Amino acid sequence: MNKVAIVGASGYSGEELVRLLLNHPHAELVAVTSRQYAGQTLAQIFPRFANHPKAKALRFTEPNAELLAKQAEIVFLALPHGVAAEYAVPLLKAGCTVIDLSADFRLKSAEVYKEFYAHDHPAPELLAKSVYGLPEIHREQIKKAALIASPGCYPTSILLPVIPLVKAKLINPQSIIADSHSGVSGAGRKAELDYLFVECNESVRPYGVPKHRHLSEIEEQLSLAAGTKVIIQFTPHLAPVNRGILTTLYLAPTEHFTDEAGAQALGKKITACYARAYANEPFVRLLEGKALPDTKNVVGTNVCEIAWRLDPRTGRLIVMSAEDNLVKGASGQAVQSMNLRCGFPETAGLV
Amino acid sequence: MNKVAIVGASGYSGEELVRLLLNHPHAELVAVTSRQYAGQTLAQIFPRFANHPKAKALRFTEPNAELLAKQAEIVFLALPHGVAAEYAVPLLKAGCTVIDLSADFRLKSAEVYKEFYAHDHPAPELLAKSVYGLPEIHREQIKKAALIASPGCYPTSILLPVIPLVKAKLINPQSIIADSHSGVSGAGRKAELDYLFVECNESVRPYGVPKHRHLSEIEEQLSLAAGTKVIIQFTPHLAPVNRGILTTLYLAPTEHFTDEAGAQALGKKITACYARAYANEPFVRLLEGKALPDTKNVVGTNVCEIAWRLDPRTGRLIVMSAEDNLVKGASGQAVQSMNLRCGFPETAGLV
Amino acid sequence: MNKVAIVGASGYSGEELVRLLLNHPHAELVAVTSRQYAGQTLAQIFPRFANHPKAKALRFTEPNAELLAKQAEIVFLALPHGVAAEYAVPLLKAGCTVIDLSADFRLKSAEVYKEFYAHDHPAPELLAKSVYGLPEIHREQIKKAALIASPGCYPTSILLPVIPLVKAKLINPQSIIADSHSGVSGAGRKAELDYLFVECNESVRPYGVPKHRHLSEIEEQLSLAAGTKVIIQFTPHLAPVNRGILTTLYLAPTEHFTDEAGAQALGKKITACYARAYANEPFVRLLEGKALPDTKNVVGTNVCEIAWRLDPRTGRLIVMSAEDNLVKGASGQAVQSMNLRCGFPETAGLV
Amino acid sequence: MNKVAIVGASGYSGEELVRLLLNHPHAELVAVTSRQYAGQTLAQIFPRFANHPKAKALRFTEPNAELLAKQAEIVFLALPHGVAAEYAVPLLKAGCTVIDLSADFRLKSAEVYKEFYAHDHPAPELLAKSVYGLPEIHREQIKKAALIASPGCYPTSILLPVIPLVKAKLINPQSIIADSHSGVSGAGRKAELDYLFVECNESVRPYGVPKHRHLSEIEEQLSLAAGTKVIIQFTPHLAPVNRGILTTLYLAPTEHFTDEAGAQALGKKITACYARAYANEPFVRLLEGKALPDTKNVVGTNVCEIAWRLDPRTGRLIVMSAEDNLVKGASGQAVQSMNLRCGFPETAGLV
């Protein structure tokens, strides 16, 4: 059993990490920190876990990197951006593996970070060492990483369906339009008017148009896959569900087609491309037949559903994905990375 | 007071028509038909209207065109496609004005109708006479029309924001991508598993990809505006709200821009274009400042909200609209057409 | 046109008052105050009203009793309890009619107020002068009142179905159990974690058990009706809807019955009792046949639905009511009182 | 590994059984039947399980008792009432253990069955042999039962909090009032207008007043606990959540109390009573301090939360419970019974 800790365990991602780690066959949750809840037990703060034997014993503590480094081998950081470095630096020095769920170590460039996050990067020297924790793309690097930057929720829902197509040069990487709808937990557990029940229920709305922060990591990863700088269009929306992201992608295939026959020919290549990429992936589900992604089919799981359609009327490829923003889009994926890093079965604790 | 009747008043659009017409200052609702509810009062079937003085007196009847023609001057048809002609033909002959909420008279071409609706058009001779009931675009024709084909919900949410841009040649009409999320009432009051509460709640999902029926009328109207045949991309989704459509449009401006200065120059033209088109329209709301459309701000009203952003990173124009699919997207717009046709103030009964 | 003002127009009740008063045929909304939004227009803060001609002209101001007294004849106070007196005292002195939506003037006893609201009453001298603004019960007094204390949302949903039974001595007033479920707008527009979308969606939960503040006014009004001190049981719950209260009441009839025949005999008396009380009331709907109350049938209206069943197995009377907590339970009822006070038709602006 | 089958696996309870049994450490799901889906795989019908290795291999079959008896040792019946006997009789004869989720074997009396279910009991000879599968109450009998009648969802939420109080004679068993609000999955996966998204969303409503079918089993079990015939009051409501039942119980303690001191004295007895009954139960959570039940804290788990308050103003005891109607209220509890019957750890596959 590996000893693990969570710093910042009181938000929605932190809570989901608690859920996954309490039931993980190879990990022992030894510490959870929260300034706000220090002194209280997991059972008090998260009643849904209260029947777990450990929930009454484990108490939130004030975050203390030195102490955490003594208690745990793996430390998950579920903190706002800009704050994670404060813990990452000493924990790495002390030899811990750090899996950060914030945006702080996802980019290679401190300049791009500043452009999108509007403050200087707190530990630019770590950017070169961190690994982007998208296991389907960077599995081998994750296995050896000391600092894993777990991807954002929107980026995961976009990168998983797009990267194989970009790598196979089946689409023009500069053509990408991503239209995403996220559940409200994506906004975090923050006491703000905009996220009150009455403000979100019976509401569908865009936000962060046209330059959402997640563009930075999406474009960096796509540029890496394409071998050239990629700029994309991305529009996030808020939908009245607790969890789930549905992304619809509009892509320009490199091969032109104008009829059903052309669509079928290209379709075979796309089918083969996705099969090569994901047929053996435990957490990507390639839909078949008439099935289309639906957030309700992935909520609570670490799975990303993908389906696609070619439109001979427009010559475009439409790809759709669905994931749980808190699982494959955050905490589940972080645990998947931990499994890889620690040599556990990749699906341990995730099915 | 003009005498009006509703054929097929038991679905969601029919119910919304009842609501609007019961409270209309210049219309008297004299007949409502429903095979299913014949003999029952409005109050029994729609408890929410039960306190209206007329709701206990007015009973649903079996639909009978001959009788309706004697009772009413204006007849609204809220029937499934393929069925409306059966009533439209005799009602028009008898001199009634017919406002049809189905898709049957929205297209000029019986072939396109057959391509998208998969059956022969039941009354192709009427297609040339019908007027597409989008008041902001076809106001003058509506005033004189005997047969008004009230637009579909998705088309309204797409055509209102796009037509002024196309007419002003500010965008390439072949570039249009429309991503729409609709409330579940858009699927109608049908006892189908797919629309059960448990199947829709906590679910966001696409459907009808890539060739939804509404494409036919959207493309016909855009072609008319552009003066050339237009093909667009359109993806409908289902969101867990009762009412509302949020549409996000991805458009390629004809004027290229790559920086903030270019965006500002083009932005002035777009502002002017929308102002010319809609500054005096009572039911189009051009959002200003940081405001973005939100379905909750239009539900229950006949308003379509529009906002836009230029993205200097991609050179695209993003336009977003929100409407109530049952009001501006169906029954409210039909009443707006009635107001025009009858010479009532255009906003009568709609504010 | 009477000139009216709203103090504290930025909460959910205030917003609903704005909606009703903007469209009222005999009232002119001349001032809206809000510390938070002072300087901004109605259109900016409440986009849903933006198409109303007055919404762009009317700006929120800092609340100032002296100024308000010059501008308006009727002033609605939509403020938290404990604060209303600060405005009520000077406004009344200046000759305004004050309609207060807070709890501050609903009770006759400053001691009971302190017991339930945990602070001294700020203006106990006004308690004797205020009238409890439940029009169906206190219509004549409301017509002459300078200070109207508009009832709470839960109290309205309980008092309307229970008072006629108590007055007719058909039930034992000490037997009353009220189980209520309210939509989340009842908690107000407050940035608190408990009312976030994710915390309320997919959640049904009781709160304030067993001594909710509204008990004080419910019991005072029931005691008045019964002619003796009445103590009741009341449990509020939160349900994931924006608006609506569904109350289920468990009552012990004074007449015992143990079979269908007994139930029918008693049922006739109950039917007659409710008919006497409400047959001509425009805003109480007595359901017939198999119909039961449903919040969705009253949302957006000023109607309270009532149905009842006698249970020969237990000898109990079950009464159920549904209302919109923001309309009949707050702002609609306040406007109904204004209509009475000003001599307008009681339903003006409410249908 | 015990071989298990599910007859009628296409409803919501059936689907939840599939979820639990696919992941059960000691059970192997060998057959699932469904007339509607025969021939299709689990993965096709329930996409959310599609990543489970067995989901693509296991196909729905037509139900055939003879065949099932050869395949499985334990057979779960998730069928409508009136139909279960058709399978139970031959399966029991063939030596299978049958766990029935319908109401068919929950009562001891065929007459009461007919009174509440409006048809003759299809296999009255089995009533004496069946065991009511509420493990916290009938654990020892379940261990030896061939036919286990798994309790209804509402009954579980009422019996668990009430039985210990009745047995300890702390309450008057004739005083019980149960007010329950259920998620819409409780109505089953049926294509009926009443359960459409638009009809349930933004709606809270009672139904089945005053004589719901579940009264029969609740009263039989309470009578057994009390040693005398018990009649109770029960009102079910529908709330717009997918899952969860929140029950609020109004009870008359046998010990009178009129002040805080009396409440504390009685409170100690209630605390002790519940602790004796449930302190060691893995699936009952006795809430402490200010915590009250909330359906969101139990959804997806086999836990029933219980809290209570004494009201010195009325002398009543208010008890509240929350459960997931599809887990502790149906399929989870059925698996718990299977665990007992088969000698597995009681919590196997349920945490």
Q: Is residue C4 predicted with pLDDT exceeding 90?
A: yes
Q: Which chain D residue has its CA at the smallest distance from C319's CA?
A: D209
Query: 3-state DSSP helix/strand/coil percent for chain A, to nearest 5?
Result: 40, 20, 40
> A109 to each of A90, A114, A127, D12, D122, how far by Cα in Å?
22, 9, 7, 49, 73
pLDDT tens digits, one per residue of C304-337? 999 999 999 999 999 999 999 999 999 999 999 9
List CB contacts (< 8 A) between A204 and chain B: 181, 239, 241, 244, 246, 294-295, 322
Residue A11, domain member (yes or no): yes
Rounded CA separation C305/A144 (Å): 66
In sequence order, what DSSP letters do the residues of A53-110 get, joined into one string? TTTTT-BEE---HHHHHHH-SEEEE---TTTHHHHHHHHHHTT-EEEE-SSTTS-S-H
CA atoms within 13 Å, Cβ hemisphere of D57: 7
pLDDT tens digits, one per residue of C235-282? 999 999 999 999 999 999 999 999 999 999 999 999 999 999 999 999
Q: Pick from D59, D94, D129: which residue ends a domain?
A: D129
> Residue A51's pLDDT is what?
87
Inter-chain CB proximity A196 and C196 less than 8 Å: yes
Q: Which chain B residue has its CA at the smallest distance from C290's CA?
A: B44
Chains sharing 3 or more CB pairs under 8 A with chain A: B, C, D
DSSP-H helix ranges across C191-280: 197-200, 215-226, 260-278
Residue D237, φ and ψ in degrees, nearest 5: -135, 160
> Residue D95's pLDDT is what?
97
Residue B31, domain member (yes or no): yes
State the best of D172, D193, D199, D202 to mutate against chain C, taking most chain C CBs within 10 Å: D202
Strands, E, within chain D: which ranges? Answer: 2-7, 27-33, 60-61, 74-77, 97-100, 131-132, 147-149, 177-182, 205-206, 233-238, 245-251, 284-286, 304-311, 316-323
Q: Are residues B179 and B109 in the same domain?
A: no
Cα-atom radius of gyration of chain A, to the nearest Å?
A: 20
Interface C–D counts its CB contacts (< 8 A) at 145
Residue D208, domain member (yes or no): yes
Task: Give residue ranges of B with CB < 8 Å to any A CB.
Answer: 177, 179, 181, 199, 201-207, 209-211, 231-233, 235, 237, 239-244, 246, 248, 250, 292-296, 299, 309-311, 313-314, 316, 318, 320, 322
- CB-based burial label for D93 (10 Å; 0-12, 13-18, 19+): exposed
Q: For residue D245, what are its two tokens? A: 């039942």
Rounded CA separation D82/D102 (Å): 8
Strands, E, within chain A: which ranges? Answer: 2-7, 27-33, 60-61, 74-77, 97-100, 131-132, 147-149, 177-182, 205-206, 233-238, 245-251, 284-286, 304-311, 316-323
Inter-chain CB proximity C202 and A242 less than 8 Å: yes
Rounded CA separation D197/B239 (Å): 11
Percent of chain D with pLDDT over 90: 98
CB C319 within 8 A of CB C249: yes
Q: Is residue B7 predicted with pLDDT exceeding 90?
A: yes
**Chain C: closest CA distance from residue A10 (Å):** 12
Map tokens 């008919």 to a residue: C275
Cβ-nearest to D231 among C240, C292, C313: C313
CB-based contacts of C227, cutoff 8 Å, min separation 6: none
Q: Pick from C89, C114, C129: which residue ends a domain?
A: C129
Q: Is residue D53 predicted with pLDDT exceeding 90?
A: no
> C159 to each of B67, B334, C165, D275, how far by Cα in Å?
47, 41, 10, 39
List CB contacts (< 8 A) between A283 and chain D: 51
> Residue B53's pLDDT is what?
87
Q: Are residues C161 and C124 in the same domain?
A: no
> Residue B151's pLDDT is what?
98
Task: Report which of B271, B270, B158 is spatially closest to residue B225, judged by C-alpha positions.
Answer: B158
Inter-chain CB proximity D23 and A296 less than 8 Å: no
Q: For residue A261, what are its two tokens? A: 């026959």
Q: What is the mean pLDDT of chain B?
A: 97
Q: Are residues A211 and A98 in the same domain?
A: no
Cross-sheet strand order for the sheet of D233-238: D205-206, D233-238, D177-182, D245-251, D316-323, D304-311, D284-286
Q: For residue A323, what are its two tokens? A: 């994931």
Inter-chain CB proximity A197 and C200 less than 8 Å: yes
In sequence order, what DSSP letters do the residues of D10-46 get, joined into one string? TSHHHHHHHHHHHT-SSEEEEEEE-TTTTT-BHHHH-
Rounded CA separation B199/B196 (Å): 5
pLDDT tens digits, one per residue of D99-155? 999 999 999 999 999 999 999 999 999 999 999 999 999 999 999 999 999 999 999
Could you tell me which residues are beta bridge partners of residue A105? none
pLDDT tens digits, one per residue of B175-227? 999 999 999 999 999 999 999 999 999 999 999 999 999 999 999 999 999 99
- The CB density around residue C62, as the number of other CB atoms within 10 Å, is 10
Task: Give residue ranges of C with CB < 8 Å to any B CB.
Answer: 23, 47-48, 50-52, 202, 282-283, 285, 287, 291, 294, 296-298, 300-301, 303, 305, 351
Inter-chain CB proximity D303 and A51 less than 8 Å: yes
pTM over 0.95: yes
Cα-atom radius of gyration of chain C, to the nearest Å?
A: 20
List CB contacts (< 8 A) between A184 and chain C: 196-198, 201
Q: What is the span of the domain harbouring residue A102?
A: 2-129
Residue D349, domain member (yes or no): no
Inter-chain CB proximity C287 and B351 less than 8 Å: no
Exposure b/e, D262-287, CB count within 10 A at least 16 = b: bbeebbeebeebbeebbeebbbbbbb
Residue D320, domain member (yes or no): yes
Q: Is residue D208 predicted with pLDDT exceeding 90?
A: yes
Q: Are residues B162 and B38 in the same domain?
A: no
Q: How confident is the model at residue B169 (pLDDT cuts 50, 70, 90)?
A: very high
**Chain B: closest CA distance from residue C239 (Å):** 15
> C44 to each of B75, B248, C48, how far by Cα in Å?
39, 22, 9
Q: Cite the active site residues of C.
A: 153
State the pairing for strand pair C147-149/D147-149. Answer: unpaired
List CB contacts (< 8 A) between C201 and chain A: 184, 197, 201, 240-242
Q: Are residues A186 and A278 in the same domain?
A: yes
> Residue B351's pLDDT is what?
83
List CB contacts (< 8 A) between B296 and chain A: 199, 202-203, 205
Q: Pick from C129, C162, C190: which residue ends a domain?
A: C129
Rounded CA separation A183/B65 (Å): 48
Low-confidence ranges of chain A (pLDDT < 50): none
Q: Are residues C175 and C287 in the same domain?
A: yes
Task: Report which of D108, D100, D136, D329 is spatially closest to residue D220, judged by C-alpha positions.
Answer: D108
Inter-chain CB proximity A199 and B314 less than 8 Å: no
Mean pLDDT of D154-181: 98
Long-range Cβ pairs for the range C107-114 (8 Å, 24+):
C107/C216, C107/C217, C107/C220, C108/C220, C109/C220, C112/C216, C112/C220, C113/C216
Q: Are residues D10 and D117 in the same domain?
A: yes
Q: Are residues D9 and D106 in the same domain?
A: yes
Chains sharing 3 or more CB pairs under 8 A with chain C: A, B, D
Inter-chain CB proximity D210 and C292 less than 8 Å: no
Q: For residue A184, what are its two tokens? A: 């409200």
- CB-based burial label for D143 (10 Å; 0-12, 13-18, 19+): middle
Q: Which chain B residue has its CA at the smallest distance from C297's CA?
A: B48
Q: How confident is the model at residue D41 (pLDDT cuts 50, 70, 90)?
A: very high
Look up the CATH number of the domain holding residue C27: 3.40.50.720
Residue A23, domain member (yes or no): yes
> Residue D23's pLDDT is what?
93
Look up the CATH number of the domain holding residue A263: 3.30.360.10
DSSP-H helix ranges across C94-226: 110-117, 135-144, 153-167, 197-200, 215-226
Percent of chain B with pLDDT over 70: 100
Q: Which chain C residue has its CA at the smallest distance from D242's CA?
A: C202
Task: Report which of A75, A40, A71 is spatially closest to residue A58, judged by C-alpha positions.
Answer: A40
Mean pLDDT of B151-157: 98
List CB contacts (< 8 A) between C199 and chain A: 197
Task: Give residue ranges of B with CB < 8 Å to any D CB.
Answer: 12, 183-185, 189-193, 195-202, 240-242
Centroid of chain to Cα D225: 18
CB C238 within 8 A of CB D331: no
Rounded CA separation D6/B76 (Å): 50
Inter-chain CB proximity B209 and A242 less than 8 Å: no
Total domain count, chain C? 2
Inter-chain CB proximity D192 and B193 less than 8 Å: no
List CB contacts (< 8 A) between D177 and chain C: 177, 250, 316
Could you tell me which residues are beta bridge partners of residue A307? A320
Q: Are residues C11 and C125 in the same domain?
A: yes
Cα-atom radius of gyration of chain B, to the nearest Å?
A: 20
Cβ-nearest to C184 among A183, A191, A198: A198
Rounded CA separation B176/A41 (Å): 54
Q: Are residues B166 and B121 in the same domain?
A: no
DSSP state of D151: P
Q: Is residue D351 predicted with pLDDT exceeding 90?
A: no
Could you tell me which residues are beta bridge partners of residue A247? A180, A321
Q: Is the dihedral of CA B328, B330, B335, B337 positive or negative?
A: positive
List CB contacts (< 8 A) between C51 and chain B: 282-283, 285, 301, 303, 351
- The CB density around residue D228, as the number of other CB atoms within 10 Å, is 11
Q: Which element (helix H / strand E) includes B216?
A: helix B215-226
**Chain B: closest CA distance from residue A29 (Å):** 30
Residue C167, domain member (yes or no): yes
CB D348 within 8 A of CB D336: no
CB-based contacts of B5, cutoff 8 Å, min separation 6: B29, B30, B31, B32, B33, B68, B71, B72, B74, B75, B76
List CB contacts (< 8 A) between D294 and chain A: 47
pLDDT tens digits, one per residue of B94-116? 999 999 999 999 999 999 999 99
Residue C228, domain member (yes or no): yes
Strands, E, within B79-184: which ranges? Answer: 97-100, 131-132, 147-149, 177-182
Inter-chain CB proximity A197 and C12 less than 8 Å: no
CB A79 within 8 A of CB A68: no
> Residue D51's pLDDT is what?
87
Inter-chain CB proximity A203 and B296 less than 8 Å: yes
List CB contacts (< 8 A) between D209 and chain C: 292, 309, 318, 320
Q: Is residue D330 predicted with pLDDT exceeding 90?
A: yes
Q: What is the mean pLDDT of chain D?
A: 97
Q: Is residue D296 predicted with pLDDT exceeding 90?
A: yes
Rounded CA separation B116/A47 (Å): 52
Q: Are residues B91 and B201 in the same domain?
A: no
Could you tell me which residues are beta bridge partners of residue A321? A247, A306
> Residue A351's pLDDT is what?
83
> Residue B51's pLDDT is what?
87
Cβ-nearest to B242 among D184, D192, D202: D202
Residue type, B14: G
Among residues D153, D200, D304, D342, which one is catalytic?
D153
Tell me how many helices (H) and strands (E) chain A has: 11, 14
Residue B334, φ and ψ in degrees, nearest 5: -65, -40
> Residue B339's pLDDT is what?
98
Q: Are residues A177 and A317 in the same domain?
A: yes
Rounded CA separation C217/D98 (Å): 55
Task: Report which of B96, B88, B94 is spatially closest to residue B149, judged by C-alpha positions.
Answer: B88
